[in-house]
Structure 1
Amino acid sequence: MVFYEPGKTPHGLPRDPFKACVTPRPIGWISTRSKDGIDNLAPYSQFNNLTFDPPYVMFSANQDLNENRKDSTVNAEATGEFCWNVATWDLREAVNATAEWFAGEVDEFERAGLEKEKAKLVNVPMVKASPIKFECKHYTTLRLPGNPPMGAVDVVIGRVIAIHIDESVLTDGMIDPGKVQPIARCGYHQYARVTAESIFEMIIPGDPKQLVGLEGNMDKAKAIGAVGHQVEPTR
């Protein structure tokens, strides 16, 4: 059994295992636009949704080797907007290309050869070829302290105000992960790919009304809440 205390005792392994312990992780392929109009695109392996009614997402951006905050964080805070683009198997090389650290005046869309798509509600470009996109309003940034130069991190939280879904990734009106084929981060330099063969279904037992949270069904949640908060008539 390997046991160690991070930052205190050595793990004795050839590479740090921490990130490899939490896998797979969805990729936050985040697009932003600076106050000067420079477009930025970068993937973050510490990303997820937080809740569904209303929907919020977060991405976590560490400092760079010079203790500078990432452009994605700076832009999201300065403009109050950002977008998330699903990272797919077909787009994997572009995702990797936009992970390279560039100066703030570099447009990663152009460097990766990606066509832009104009968002409807925010002034931020999206990846046209990505089949699912979120338009987000910056809600808050939680800054966690860490060891220099890269340990400090900005946890950026945004409210999702618009969602784009390409009909090509739907089956019977539902998003089909086997068609999307999202990629996810594992440990080290490894990734995972969701395919039709890797998907299985399990329904949690118990009160079926509780499943609306797992499904993320806003309408059903509202309906159940309305019934639950009805006032009993007086007699």
Structure 2
Amino acid sequence: MRALPRASRYKILGSCITPRPIAWVTSRSADGTVNAAPYSFFNALGDDPPTIALGLMQHGEARLKDTAANIRTSGEFVVNLVDEAHAAAMNLTCIDAPPGVSEAEMAGLELAPSVAVVPPRIATAPASFECRLLHAIETGPHQLVVIGEVVHAHVADAFIIDRERLHIDTLAMNLIARMHGAGWYSRQTDLFQMTRPRWAERTAANEP
């Protein structure tokens, strides 16, 4: 892999590690500009504390992307999940706008104040996670892995089945995921279920 050009390494990873959830990250620059950008090198890491990870690759101009710079400076960000209804707006915020341009404003996103962090959340997203930076790990030139603690979570009322038991109608969110190649995404429409095995039940079934 080290002998390959950067673009080739990305093709291999992006084509094989799929589907990938999309973190639509809102952050705020030092001058107050609200940045919104999607990242699919993203997932949850643990629940005590609740942590998520973002892989923020270098900008095409060989510098930190605005999201990475904002997070490293402020230590705060919001991860908004992307449903199919927001696909076009999310795609618009992929644009290679120069620093100082608010992709959130350009895409006409409805923002709402966060509870525990300064950057706003996307008000119409099905779910949003307010995060504080735990670690920013430099994995390459202008490339960061950001690990954040989720300090406040928002789930739209329409997707809450049972508030007391925290049952959420995930399928109804119509979340989309990143797939292989340029511009390819997937829907969560073809599912199957398997029950997790238990050692006690397996050994009991094998007893004479």
Tell me the TM-score range normalised by the shorter chain: 0.7 to 0.9
Work out the CA distance in 1 between the residues paired with 2:185 and 2:170.
Answer: 16
Residue correspondences, number: 193
Work out the CA distance in 1 between the residues paired with 2:122 and 2:199.
Answer: 40
1:159-193 superposed Cα distances (whole Å, 9 cap, x missing partner): 00000011211334522222111111111121011
Shift of 1:54: 1.2
Percent of residue pairs identical:
34
Q: Does 1:44 align with 2:34?
A: no
* Matched-pair contact (CA < 8 Å) for 1:177–1:194: no
TM-score, structure 2 as length reference: 0.86
Pairing 1:154-173 to 2, within 5 Å after superposition = 154-172=144-162, 173=166
The corresponding residue for 2:187 is 193
Q: Does 1:203 align with 2:198?
A: no
1:124 paired residue among 109, 119, 130: 119
What is the SS of the residue equivalent to 1:121?
coil
Q: 1:9 to 1:67 in 2, by over 3 A?
A: closer
The corresponding residue for 2:57 is 62
TM-score, structure 1 as length reference: 0.77
* Matched-pair contact (CA < 8 Å) for 1:17–1:187: no
User: What's the RMSD between the two structures over aligned residues?
Assistant: 2.0
The one-letter amino acid of 2:113's match is: K
Give 1 or 2 for the bigger CA radius of gyration. 1
Q: Note the residue ranges of structure 2 that are not aligned, 5 or more in a row.
A: 201-208
The one-letter amino acid of 2:195's match is: I
The one-letter amino acid of 1:89's match is: E
Bigger shift: residues 168-177 or 95-104: 168-177
Work out the CA distance in 1 between the residues paired with 2:138 and 2:149.
Answer: 18
Work out the CA distance in 2 between the residues paired with 1:55 and 1:23.
Answer: 23
The corresponding residue for 1:90 is 85
The one-letter amino acid of 2:38's match is: P
The corresponding residue for 1:20 is 15
Work out the CA distance in 1 between the residues paired with 2:135 and 2:11.
Answer: 30
What is the SS of the residue equivalent to 2:116?
coil
Shift of 1:200: 2.9
Work out the CA distance in 2 between the residues paired with 1:79 and 1:24.
Answer: 30
The one-letter amino acid of 1:70's match is: K
2:174 paired residue among 165, 177, 181: 181
Work out the CA distance in 2 between the residues paired with 1:72 and 1:22.
Answer: 23
* Matched-pair contact (CA < 8 Å) for 1:63–1:70: yes
Shift of 1:203: 2.0
